[in-house]
Amino acid sequence: MPRYPTDFKPSTSVAAFKSDFEHLEASARERDAKVRIGGRVQLVRHASKKLTFLTVEAEGETIQVLVSRGNYTGTDADGAPCAGDQLVETMKLLRRGDWVGLDGFAGKSGRGELSVIATRVQVLAPCEVNLPEPGQLRDEGARAAERHRDLVVNGQWARAPHLARSAVLRSVRQTLERHGCVEVETPVLQATAGGAIARPFETRSHALDRQLSLRVAPELALKQLVVGGLQRVFELGRVFRNEGVDATHNPEFTSCEAYGAYWTVSDLESLTQEVMRDAAAAVAAAGLAAGEAQWRRPDQASAGGVDEAPPSGAVAAAAAPAAAAAAGGRSDSSDVLQLSGDFVGRFASSEVLDAGRGEELRRDGLTLDLSQPFDRISIPEAVAEATGGAELPLLRELTDAAFGGASDAATQEVEARAEAQLAELLRSQGLELPSPPTYGRMLDRLIGGVVEPRCLRPTFVVDHPVLMSPLARSRPDAPWLAERFELFVLGRELCNAYGELSDPDEQRRRFAAQVAERERRGDDEAHGMDERFLDALAHGLPPTGGWGLGVDRLVMLLTQRPHIRDVVAFPMCR
């Protein structure tokens, strides 16, 4: 027998085998129903020299295999001869982790356990390393660094978020395509990294002899396509930000951005809720929500390695009925997510947990109903409520100076006064000043400290200052505020959307203010000047709405995995 045979082809899956033969009575044998199944050995138990029991797993399903000389028929499922002595020798060498090919037929034990009664066992690929016992591979860093080992040892518990991720990606695509969006691809390597206030990764092209950056967002390229007549476009792909690594941030992550002519911010709020509900239904219908899947965490695994029960307290949305899933519909129950206290305690931002309900949330968890209208919080109103009536210091005056054509000296004078007052407001709330302490960065710190902690359930945070939204158009009734919202859950941002600024002259002024911030204040996250994008706007951008989703965090929420490393197959590790 070849050491690594390549001609084995299963005739059925473990799941299909169980479905086809579960009806058998105890001790029954279906000798004429020959099957061929492949999988990985989870457990080897030698009952005697002539009888061995295996537990074999494939695609999240396990099956018992009974191997005995007494059931040897002399042929495999294709009728080819195979020696009985070969069967015995194979059993002696078999170990946990080996990939095996099984020929046999269905039967049930005297206790009624469905089994494959093997007539031939081939080792398709031996496992030549000693695998940790179930429950021993728990360290998150080690699991992420050796994902292949994690998936082997921790089984379906480790695989589930990656399967759920596939369901979420498919769902998001379907939702956007239903709204008439065309999926496109835009450059990852860019001359100017734009579309978000973030620090880029930089590299150099030897062929072009020029500096390039990995994209921090696809926004500017997508809007150029809208200018060109592709009225609704989206892109699902990787973006890169040379920033921190923690439980909800990875330097390389997956986003979805969509842009549509004539979309309003109100349209995008409705789209956001639709995307969330559809994704939750897709994960639940696939049986991948935390409370549905029949698996345990690594530290709860049974000694035999067979996943037996869902983790205590990790109940998620109920699966949509099979009929609804087949019809493309969904169960209303999939809109309700019951988040466990353990997940909430690890996923929620520290500001949320420190805001007075941390102990209750860690104990009782939180129920989210995605079918209900999401909450709304206005930034100026929330700041006033949290600070005893304080307004955002000199916001209107500074906005007018920065974007209204005032001299640099006049702008800097207003900026200095505004920043001094805003810094004092941060200190009064016990918040540390960012570095550098620019007005925009301090605004972001203030919002994170007094607004975001209020966002337990899905909440649209609205009325962002234009000073921190350089690509969004201003509200006609309040030009110092942007037509923009962010969606937060448990203090974590999931979505960002706004009405797109289409005036090329105004956009140039905003870019110029960002460039000055970078050069004068050393803010390496400030937006650069992008002449190609400005030229595109000069060709005419129709009224457009833009929307972005953090896919990784959505998968974390729907599968109740508190660390981004659990939902990214190969995350960046320290």
From 107, 125, 143, the end of a domain falls on 125
Q: What is the pLDDT of residues 321-355, one digit of tens each?
A: 333 333 344 445 789 999 999 999 999 999 999 98
C-alpha 193: how far from chain center: 23
315 in a structural domain: no
- Parent domain of 64: 14-125
Tally of CB atoms within 10 A around 165: 23
pLDDT band at 501 (very low <50, low <70, confident <90, very high): very high
CATH of the domain at 92: 2.40.50.140
pLDDT band at 302 (very low <50, low <70, confident <90, very high): very low
On whether both 285 and 214 belong to a single domain, the answer is: yes
CA distances from 59 to 37, 105, 157, 308 (A): 12, 20, 12, 15
On whether both 417 and 508 belong to a single domain, the answer is: yes
Locate 511 and state its tokens: 């870019």
* pLDDT (average), residues 140-149: 92
On whether both 46 and 161 belong to a single domain, the answer is: no
The answer to which of 181-185, 280-284, 302-306 has the lowest mean pLDDT is 302-306
On whether both 213 and 353 belong to a single domain, the answer is: yes
Q: What is the pLDDT of residues 83-120, one digit of tens each?
A: 666 666 778 889 999 999 999 999 999 999 999 999 98
pLDDT band at 147 (very low <50, low <70, confident <90, very high): very high
On whether both 499 and 352 belong to a single domain, the answer is: yes
Q: What is the pLDDT of residues 250-282, one digit of tens each?
A: 999 999 999 999 999 999 999 999 999 999 999
Residue pointed to by tokens 């379906």: 156
On whether both 112 and 178 belong to a single domain, the answer is: no
On whether both 112 and 164 belong to a single domain, the answer is: no
Q: What percent of the chain has pLDDT over 90?
A: 73
On whether both 390 and 241 belong to a single domain, the answer is: yes
Residue 22, class by beta-carbon neighbours within 10 Å (0-12 exposed, 13-18 middle, 19+ buried)? exposed
Nearest-angstrom CA–CA distance, 67 and 145: 36
pTM across the whole model = 0.89
* pLDDT (average), residues 517-527: 79
On whether both 75 and 193 belong to a single domain, the answer is: no
On whether both 106 and 214 belong to a single domain, the answer is: no
Locate 236 and state its tokens: 């699902």
Q: What is the pLDDT of residues 369-418, one digit of tens each?
A: 999 999 999 999 999 999 999 899 999 999 999 888 788 899 999 999 99
Give the mean pLDDT of the chain.
Answer: 89
How many domains would you assign to the chain?
2
On whether both 173 and 86 belong to a single domain, the answer is: no
From 81, 103, 125, the end of a domain falls on 125
On whether both 395 and 503 belong to a single domain, the answer is: yes
6 in a structural domain: no
Nearest-angstrom CA–CA distance, 51 and 419: 79
